[in-house]
């Protein structure tokens, strides 16, 4: 593996994490994991910066060729696991992998947020309205499915007969917070909306965990109506704290978290029996 170097975004926690795993388990040599910023200083013409911002670069020193994105990862993993290389290069699977790669790459600073920087990283993913829209739409849809499942199975006793569709409420929250963002004259709504939707998605995943536990308790004949409300409250608290954490990391105004709470207070009378 000494013949391969994988460049990674040093400011991206996800990139640091998985490249460390590659080194730890012998997929990459110790010196095969190189910071993109440091490498381009020493070799300014070796890597196409426009591509490497989005697709991680992998250099094959034997052929002196640079691979990007999924092609680079398949090169690294394929040298250790031949089956991965064979399956990964199968066209339908390869197309799916490339789609997923771009989905994660363009939104990697949302999955793993970092502090606001005064100097822009040379490996910062560029802004893409398309991929951010795909991100927001897909996570909103999965959040809707999970929340609807939890409400119907565990909170139906506390809900009004005719409640607004959960997807409509989620879209309303996005619109409400977008308006608040503009009202408070904050910068970079492109990133804020990504963090907002991802926070809701994390809350939905927590509901999946709680819902599985409630179903297990139901199998033993344990009543879980009140416990379901407690778990939902814990989820809301988690989302509040996560939203607040991300706001602070990006140095946006605390008023955004306040508006997040206000929206919740405004909609709950239309959803739950008081």
**33-42: per-residue pLDDT in tens?**
888 888 887 8
Confidence of residue 262 (pLDDT cuts 50, 70, 90): very high
Lowest mean pLDDT among 57-66, 133-142, 202-211, 226-235: 57-66
Task: Select from 4, 47, 45 the least CA-distant residue to 27.
Answer: 4
Q: How many CB atoms lie within 10 A of CB 230?
A: 11
Question: Higher-confidence residue: 232 or 118?
Answer: 232
32 neighbors 2 (Cβ within 8 angstroms): yes
1 neighbors 49 (Cβ within 8 angstroms): no
List strands edge to edge, sheet with 65-68. Answer: 33-35, 4-8, 57-60, 65-68
CA distance 197 to 171: 10
With a cut of 50, say whether residue 30 has pLDDT above it: yes
With a cut of 50, say whether residue 1 has pLDDT above it: no
Per-residue pLDDT tens over the stretch 86-111? 998 899 999 999 999 999 999 998 99
Confidence of residue 117 (pLDDT cuts 50, 70, 90): low
29 neighbors 1 (Cβ within 8 angstroms): yes
Lowest mean pLDDT among 28-32, 148-152, 216-220: 28-32
Q: Tokens for 168, please give them.
A: 């409509």
CA distance 192 to 50: 24
Question: Which class for 89: exposed (0-12), middle (13-18), buried (19 or more C-beta within 10 A)?
Answer: middle
């Amino acid at each position: 593996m000494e013949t391969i170097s994988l460049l990674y975004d040093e400011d991206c926690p996800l990139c640091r994490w998985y490249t460390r795993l590659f080194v730890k388990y012998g997929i990459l040599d110790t010196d095969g994991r190189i910071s993109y910023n440091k490498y381009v200083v020493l070799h300014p013409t070796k890597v196409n910066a426009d591509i490497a911002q989005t697709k991680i670069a992998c250099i094959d020193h034997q052929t002196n060729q640079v691979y990007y994105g999924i092609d680079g990862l398949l090169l690294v993993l394929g040298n250790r696991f031949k089956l991965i290389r064979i399956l990964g290069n199968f066209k339908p699977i390869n197309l799916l992998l490339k789609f997923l790669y771009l989905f994660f790459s363009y939104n990697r600073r949302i999955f793993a947020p970092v502090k606001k920087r005064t100097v822009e990283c040379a490996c910062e993913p560029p802004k893409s309205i398309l991929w951010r829209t795909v991100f927001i739409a897909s996570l909103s849809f999965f959040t809707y499915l999970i929340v609807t499942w939890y409400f119907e199975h565990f909170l139906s006793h506390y809900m009004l007969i005719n409640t607004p569709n959960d997807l409509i409420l989620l879209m309303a929250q996005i619109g409400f917070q977008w308006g608040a963002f503009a009202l408070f004259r904050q910068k970079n709504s492109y990133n804020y909306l990504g963090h907002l939707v991802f926070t809701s998605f994390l809350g939905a995943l927590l509901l999946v965990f709680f819902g599985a536990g409630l179903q297990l308790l139901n199998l033993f004949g344990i009543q879980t109506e009140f416990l379901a409300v407690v778990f939902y409250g814990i989820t809301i608290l988690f989302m509040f704290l996560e939203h607040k954490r991300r706001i602070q990391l990006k140095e946006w105004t605390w008023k955004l978290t306040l508006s997040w709470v206000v929206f919740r207070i405004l909609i709950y009378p239309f959803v739950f029996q008081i």
